[in-house]
Amino acid sequence: MTDLAVRTTAIPGLLVVDLPVHGDNRGWFKENWQRAKMTALGLPDFGPVQQNVSFNDERGVTRGIHAEPWDKFVSVATGRVFGAWVDLREGSSFGAVVTCEIQPGTAVFVPRGVGNAYQTLEPATAYSYLVNDHWSAAARERYTFVGLHDESLHIDWPIPLTQATLSEADRQHPLLVDARPVAAPRTLVLGAGGQLGAALVNTLPGARGRTRAECDLADPAAVAGLDLADVDAIVNAAAYTAVDQAETADGRRAAWATNVTGLAGLVERARERGIPIVHVSSDYVFDGTAAEHPEDEPFSPLGVYGQTKAAGDALVAAYERHYLVRTSRVVGTGKNFVATMAMLADKGICPSVVDDQHGRLTFTTDLAAGIAHLLATRPPYGTYNLTNTGPVQTWADIAADIFELRGRDRSDVTPVSTAEYGQGKSMAPRPEHSALPPGKIEATGFVARPAADRLREYVAGL
Q: How would you write 329-384 as a 3-class SS string?
A: CEECCCCCHHHHHHHHHHCCCCCEEECCCEECCEEHHHHHHHHHHHHHHCCCCEEE
Instruction: Find residue 277's DSSP bridge partners.
Output: 234, 322
The number of folded domains in the chain is 2
**In this model, does residue 215 exceed pLDDT 90?**
yes
Give the percent of the chain with pLDDT over 90: 91
**In this model, does residue 88 exceed pLDDT 90?**
yes
Together in a domain, 395 and 414: yes
- How far is residue 121 from each of residues 45, 57, 83, 111, 118, measured CA to CA in Å? 30, 11, 10, 24, 9
Together in a domain, 132 and 264: no
CATH number at residue 312: 3.40.50.720
Q: What is the pLDDT of residue 288?
A: 96
Together in a domain, 159 and 254: no
Q: 388 and 449 in contact (C-beta within 8 Å)?
A: yes
- pLDDT averaged over every residue in the chain: 95
Which stretch of 93-97, 331-335, 453-457 has the lowest confidence by average pLDDT? 331-335
pTM: 0.85
Tell me the pLDDT band of 411, cut-offs 50, 70 and 90.
very high
Together in a domain, 278 and 142: no
Cα R_g (the chain), whole angstroms: 28
Together in a domain, 269 and 360: yes
Which stretch of 132-146, 290-304, 433-447 has the lowest confidence by average pLDDT? 132-146
Q: 122 and 104 in contact (C-beta within 8 Å)?
A: no
Task: Find the mean pLDDT for residues 81-90.
Answer: 97
**In this model, does residue 179 exceed pLDDT 80?**
yes
Together in a domain, 210 and 165: no
Together in a domain, 271 and 159: no
Helix (H) or strand (E) holding 102, with range, is strand 97-102
Together in a domain, 174 and 193: no
Together in a domain, 67 and 207: no
Backbone phi, psi, residue 106, to 5°: -135, 140
Instruction: Show which residues are catalytic.
Output: 66, 129
- List, for residues 235-277, the tens digit of each pLDDT value: 999 999 999 999 999 999 999 999 999 999 999 999 988 899 9
Task: Find the mean pLDDT for residues 121-130.
Answer: 96
Together in a domain, 369 and 346: yes
Q: What is the pLDDT of residue 140?
A: 83
Tell me the pLDDT band of 287, cut-offs 50, 70 and 90.
very high
Instruction: Indicate the residue among 139, 157, 178 that finishes a domain.
Output: 178
Instruction: Indicate the residue among 128, 144, 178 that finishes a domain.
Output: 178
- List, for residues 377-394, the tens digit of each pLDDT value: 999 999 999 999 999 999
Torsion, CA 223, CA 331, CA 296, CA 446, rounded to 10: 100
Q: What is the pLDDT of residue 341?
A: 97
Q: What is the pLDDT of residue 1?
A: 65
Domain extent at residue 260:
186-460
Which stretch of 104-113, 137-146, 407-416 has the lowest confidence by average pLDDT? 137-146
Q: What is the pLDDT of residue 133?
A: 87
Instruction: Indicate the residue among 116, 147, 178 that finishes a domain.
Output: 178
Q: What is the pLDDT of residue 22?
A: 93
- How far is residue 63 from each of residues 50, 94, 119, 444, measured CA to CA in Å? 20, 21, 7, 43
* Pairing label, strands 114-120, 27-30: unpaired
CATH number at residue 125: 2.60.120.10
Together in a domain, 23 and 116: yes
Q: What is the pLDDT of residue 139?
A: 80
Together in a domain, 164 and 230: no
